[in-house]
């Protein structure tokens, strides 16, 4: 059975921490290695991507490997060849698959039929590579995670679910404010609670942000939800991350966003362009975290 990385919960607490430390070390040393020397990685992307695609591509090169990029438009995926068939075929050619798709169940099926490691490059349910990299972004600013208060404001989406997974493994406290009807997955919340995560789940963004050291948000309509964008714009308006909301946070608050950001919607131009935004470090850390994740998968 190959190792897969379909959600943060696949890692286990100790490995998750080790991977953050590995990524930090790789960042500090501008790491180059040979974990993927002579290996080929298929990058199967059914949704658009800038950061995930390029950071994986560069990370794989830094580890000595090569990539093959595939989209539905240019492969048989777009003509309804099932992912499970694609999985078995690509397993015969390549050494790893990095996959961005819609349903988590599609990714799980693909992994079941794959004889090589499969990495979740985002599904509708989770975005584990992003949140692992966000853990690095927080950790490099404050190694005492017990003291760190993180707020999530906005949609209970794939990012929110992965943050809940992270809160089950890392000792920061997480306050999450989402509007009614846009909650994170209740099963993910329960699992995190049962694992001892320090969680506050509420509706009021002001409550979530109060005293927070890191305030996180994300787009109001994720990829695949474009038809709902207008309605979501109304529902989420009180959840905008702006100066007024941030006035309630810790005076030294940092603002996080996985990007792409929609200025004037979930975040203001002023906040995005202020020193409080650490979004470019977050984007950079994707590269270091992808290297650590791949090195672990092939260790």
**Binding region for ligand NVA (CB under 6 A):** 122, 127, 157-159, 218-219, 222-223, 258
Q: Is 100 a catalytic residue?
A: yes
**Residue in 153, 146, 150 with CA at minimum distance from that of residue 250:** 150
The smaller minimum CB distance to ligand CP, of residues 53 and 84, is found at 53
What, of ligand CP, ligand NVA, none, does residue 248 touch, CB below 5 to 8 Å by kind?
Answer: none
**Residue tagged active-site, from 104, 130, 282, 290:** 130
**Residue tagged active-site, from 51, 62, 125, 127:** 127
Q: Is 127 a catalytic residue?
A: yes
Quick check: 52 binds ligand CP (CB under 6 A)? yes
- Residue/partner pairs of 269-278 with CB below 8 Å, 24 or more apart: 270/242, 270/243, 271/241, 271/242, 271/243, 271/246, 276/246, 278/137, 278/141, 278/254
What, of ligand NVA, ligand CP, none, does residue 50 touch, CB below 5 to 8 Å by kind?
Answer: ligand CP
The smaller minimum CB distance to ligand NVA, of residues 114 and 158, is found at 158
Span near ligand CP by CB under 6 A; candidates 45-53, 79-87, 108-116, 188-196: 45-53
Quick check: 94 binds ligand CP (CB under 6 A)? no
**Residue tagged active-site, from 218, 240, 257, 290:** 218
Tell me which of 15, 25, 50, 78 binds ligand CP, using CB under 6 A: 50
Position of minimal CB gap to ligand CP: 52
Q: Is 130 a catalytic residue?
A: yes
Backbone φ and ψ of 255, nearest 5°: -110, 135
Rounded to a whole number of angstroms, the minimum distance from the CB of residue 294 to ligand CP is 16
Site for ligand CP in 231-260 (CB under 6 A): 258-259
Position of minimal CB gap to ligand NVA: 222
Task: Spell out, one character per residue from 120 to 159, where the chain touches ligand CP: x when CB under 6 A holds, - when not.
Answer: --x-------x-----------------------------
| Catalytically active residues, by annotation | 100, 127, 130, 218, 258, 286
Q: Which residues bind ligand CP (CB under 6 A)?
A: 49-53, 122, 130, 258-259
């Amino acid at each position: 059975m190959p190792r897969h990385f379909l959600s943060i919960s696949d890692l286990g607490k100790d490995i998750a921490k080790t991977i953050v430390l590995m990524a930090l070390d790789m960042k500090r040393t501008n790491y180059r290695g040979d974990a993927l020397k002579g290996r080929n990685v298929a990058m199967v992307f059914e949704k658009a991507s800038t950061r995930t695609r390029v950071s994986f591509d560069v990370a794989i090169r830094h580890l000595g490997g090569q990539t093959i990029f595939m989209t539905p438009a240019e492969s048989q995926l777009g003509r309804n060849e099932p992912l499970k068939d694609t999985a078995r075929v690509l397993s015969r050619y390549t050494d790893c698959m990095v996959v961005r798709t819609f349903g988590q169940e599609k990714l799980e099926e693909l992994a079941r039929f794959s004889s090589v490691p499969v990495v979740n490059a985002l599904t509708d349910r989770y975005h584990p590579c992003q949140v692992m990299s966000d853990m690095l972004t927080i950790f490099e600013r404050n190694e005492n995670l017990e003291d760190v208060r993180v707020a999530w404001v906005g949609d209970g989406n794939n990012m929110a679910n992965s943050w809940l997974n992270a809160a089950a493994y890392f000792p920061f406290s997480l306050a999450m404010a989402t509007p009614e009807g846009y909650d994170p997955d209740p099963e993910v919340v329960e699992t995190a609670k049962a694992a001892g995560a320090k969680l506050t789940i509420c509706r009021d963004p002001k409550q979530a942000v109060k005293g927070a050291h890191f305030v996180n948000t994300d787009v109001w309509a994720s990829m695949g939800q474009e038809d709902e964008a207008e309605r979501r714009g109304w529902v989420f308006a009180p959840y905008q991350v702006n100066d007024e909301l941030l006035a309630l946070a810790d005076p030294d608050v940092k603002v996080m966003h996985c990007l792409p950001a929609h200025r004037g919607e979930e975040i203001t131009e002023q906040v995005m362009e202020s020193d409080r935004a650490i979004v470019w470090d977050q984007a950079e850390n994707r590269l270091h975290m992808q290297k650590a994740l791949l090195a672990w998968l092939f260790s």
